[in-house]
């Protein structure tokens, strides 16, 4: 555990990407199995110990530290694991040597919700503050130290001089501590056999188009549908639905599982039937409807009937034993158009290519799409292979322009992680009538992005100087600052006092200059609802 803790500390303080890669690669080479496999899983958030939650750590700490002092400390640090690692009192008697990573994983895995309350403290007693931090981060499965799982995979590839694409591909069919992966990469064993496993293939992603214009002779245009990106896999008589991050969400969408009549891997948008978003075989509902189906471990019959899911297909990666990923998009598209005819139309349709003669015409078509609740347009290079991640110049997303509204800052909350000392999460509101006639502000949304680090410093200062009330980590501010808030759409919501919920709100501009009574009213926001 000491070496793992030292790695975590070094990664926390290292800025350079290359240096981070070197640190991880060195650790993977120097550490024996299975410690390095567990460590790799921890770095990529691949570990889950159901008995250990953030709330467990809080409960354990509150037995040893005054609850008020714990809360004040946690609020200051902005990270439960780190606060606990710093506040943990030294044991009265020596508690034994620090556990190895494998031993820690075995102990954590065997804990129950009851036993964790005595067993986790016993482990903490065996560690120094750095070790406690590493253990608690590993145990709660959320490192949040600026290492993406992609970076860890690149480091793995560098450590053993293998291709990162192969690492990505084998990764998802193997479970921690990845013995076969290390045997292949480090010891030259044959690669893991994944042909008959329904494994996840990393998604191809798009860059934002920004100010660029592209030639439609080179790029095909498609709608960007407003559902969730999924991968549908059938191999060796098993089917899976994966989310964009590679999570298996099959249990939430059982109706899609038995419908693929042949082995294949499809890329598409998961949607719920409705009347908003057009398509070959009828429309789809807005994202709001799909949300009813997300995150469920079991799905009731009523749910299936009320919110029927289907997949609008974008691409095909593998079909009937053939790997199409290296082929150009045109070839894959032609194949997809053939294959879709063999799939039940009740649950599959094709994402249509937009017929536009020029970029200008496409811009015009895109400008008209708001009513259909489409997120914008995708531009795909006609000769692009299907490659993992974002590759410059191949795919672009051209999101529609956001909606804008002027709101007034009401509350600010301290951020976590890198922003732990800053008031960086803002709740803002609109007037429920004429502000000059005594109307009140009602909260309409919360945002924590869209501003620069410099602006964050100014906002933090504003919050501290304009505080009228404190509620733990939250400060209520006087009503003195207007935000121009950008958002993708707004929906009716019973959960909010204003009756409205925004999608993807972010700070568009800080209107230091604008008087608050000129901010928008709730009625202006309500007029933009498209449900």
List residues near other proteins by CB under 8 A: 9, 12-15, 65-66, 68-69, 72-73, 76-79, 82-83, 86-87, 133, 417-418, 420-421
Indicate the burial class of 444 (C-beta count within 10 angstroms; 0-12, 13-18, 19 or more). buried
- C-beta of 65 vs 387, nearer to other proteins: 65
Minimum Å gap between C-beta 90 and other proteins is: 10
Minimum Å gap between C-beta 171 and other proteins is: 28
Q: Determine the Cα–Cα distance for residues 459 and 481; give it in Å rounded to an integer.
A: 10
Phi and psi (nearest 5°) for 184?
A: -70, -50
Q: Which residue has the tokens 């598409």?
A: 268
Minimum Å gap between C-beta 83 and other proteins is: 6
Phi and psi (nearest 5°) for 73?
A: -70, -45
Sorted by sequence, the CB contacts under 8 Å of residue 448 that are 6+ apart come out as 415, 424, 425, 426
Beta strands of 236-375 (E only): which ranges?
238-243, 264-277, 284, 309-319, 322-323, 348-350
Going from the C-alpha of 226 to that of each of 209, 280, 397, the distances in angstroms are 18, 16, 13
- C-beta of 13 vs 187, nearer to other proteins: 13
Minimum Å gap between C-beta 411 and other proteins is: 19
List residues bridging with 239 in a β-sheet: 234
Minimum Å gap between C-beta 151 and other proteins is: 16
- C-beta of 244 vs 418, nearer to other proteins: 418
- C-beta of 32 vs 417, nearer to other proteins: 417
For 284, other C-beta atoms within 10 Å of its C-beta total: 28
Closest CA to 398 of 217, 150, 204, 219: 219
- C-beta of 87 vs 257, nearer to other proteins: 87
Minimum Å gap between C-beta 18 and other proteins is: 14
Which two tokens mark 53? 């939650």
Q: Determine the Cα–Cα distance for residues 306 and 194; give it in Å rounded to an integer.
A: 37
Minimum Å gap between C-beta 132 and other proteins is: 12
Sorted by sequence, the CB contacts under 8 Å of residue 240 that are 6+ apart come out as 198, 200, 232, 233, 234, 248, 250, 257
- C-beta of 137 vs 153, nearer to other proteins: 137
Radius of gyration of the chain (CA): 26
- C-beta of 72 vs 257, nearer to other proteins: 72
Closest CA to 246 of 350, 136, 183, 168: 168
- C-beta of 420 vs 432, nearer to other proteins: 420
- C-beta of 79 vs 222, nearer to other proteins: 79
Beta strands of 359-440 (E only): which ranges?
376-381, 389-390, 395-399, 403-414, 423-431
Minimum Å gap between C-beta 339 and other proteins is: 48
Minimum Å gap between C-beta 499 and other proteins is: 36
């Amino acid at each position: 555990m000491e070496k793992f803790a030292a790695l975590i500390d070094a990664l926390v303080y290292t800025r350079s990407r290359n240096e981070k890669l070197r640190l991880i690669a060195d650790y993977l080479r120097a550490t024996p199995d299975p410690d390095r496999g567990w460590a790799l899983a921890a770095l990529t958030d691949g570990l889950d110990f159901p008995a250990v939650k953030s709330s467990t750590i809080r409960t354990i700490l509150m037995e040893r530290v005054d609850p008020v002092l714990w809360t004040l400390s946690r609020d200051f640090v902005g990270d439960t694991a780190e606060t606990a690692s710093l506040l943990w009192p030294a044991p009265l008697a020596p508690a034994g040597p620090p556990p190895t990573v494998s031993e820690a994983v075995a102990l954590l895995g065997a804990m129950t919700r009851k036993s964790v309350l005595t067993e986790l403290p016993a482990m903490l007693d065996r560690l120094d503050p750095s070790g406690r931090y590493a253990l608690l981060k590993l145990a709660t499965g959320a490192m949040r130290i600026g290492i993406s799982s992609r970076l860890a995979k690149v480091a793995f590839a560098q450590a053993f001089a293998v291709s990162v694409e192969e690492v990505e591909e084998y990764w998802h069919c193997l479970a921690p501590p990845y013995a076969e992966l290390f045997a292949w990469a480090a010891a030259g064993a044959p690669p893991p056999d994944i042909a008959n496993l329904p494994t996840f293939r990393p998604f191809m992603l798009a860059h934002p188009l920004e100010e660029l214009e592209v030639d439609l002779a080179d790029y095909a245009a498609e709608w960007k549908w407003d559902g969730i990106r999924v991968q549908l896999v059938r191999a060796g008589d098993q089917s899976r639905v994966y989310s964009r991050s590679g999570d298996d969400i099959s249990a939430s969408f059982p109706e899609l599982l038995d419908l693929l009549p042949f082995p294949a891997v499809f890329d598409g948008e998961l949607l719920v039937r409705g009347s908003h978003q057009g398509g070959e075989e009828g429309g789809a509902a807005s994202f709001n409807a799909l949300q009813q189906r997300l995150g469920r471990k079991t799905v009731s019959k009523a749910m299936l009937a009320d919110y029927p899911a289907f997949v609008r297909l974008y691409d095909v990666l593998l079909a009937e034993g053939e790997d199409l990923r290296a082929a150009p998009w045109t070839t894959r598209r032609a194949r997809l158009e053939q294959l879709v005819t063999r799939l039940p139309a009740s649950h599959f349709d094709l994402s249509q290519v937009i017929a536009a003669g020029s970029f200008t015409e496409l811009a015009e078509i895109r400008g008209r799409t708001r009513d259909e609740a489409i997120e914008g347009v995708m531009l795909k290079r006609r000769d692009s292979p299907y490659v993992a991640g974002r590759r410059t110049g191949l795919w672009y997303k051209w999101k529609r322009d956001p909606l804008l509204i002027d709101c007034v800052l009401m509350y600010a909350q301290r951020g976590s992680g890198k922003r732990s000392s800053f008031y960086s999460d803002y709740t803002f509101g609109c007037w429920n009538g004429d502000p000059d006639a005594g109307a009140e502000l009602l909260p309409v949304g919360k945002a924590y992005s869209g501003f620069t680090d410099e602006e964050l410093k100014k906002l933090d200062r504003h919050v501290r100087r304009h505080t009228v009330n404190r509620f733990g980590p939250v400060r209520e501010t006087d009503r003195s600052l207007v935000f121009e808030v950008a958002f993708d759409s707004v929906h009716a919501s019973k959960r909010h006092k204003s009756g409205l919920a925004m999608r993807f709100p972010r700070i568009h501009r800080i209107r230091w200059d604008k008087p608050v009574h000129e901010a928008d009213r709730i009625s202006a926001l309500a007029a933009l609802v498209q449900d």
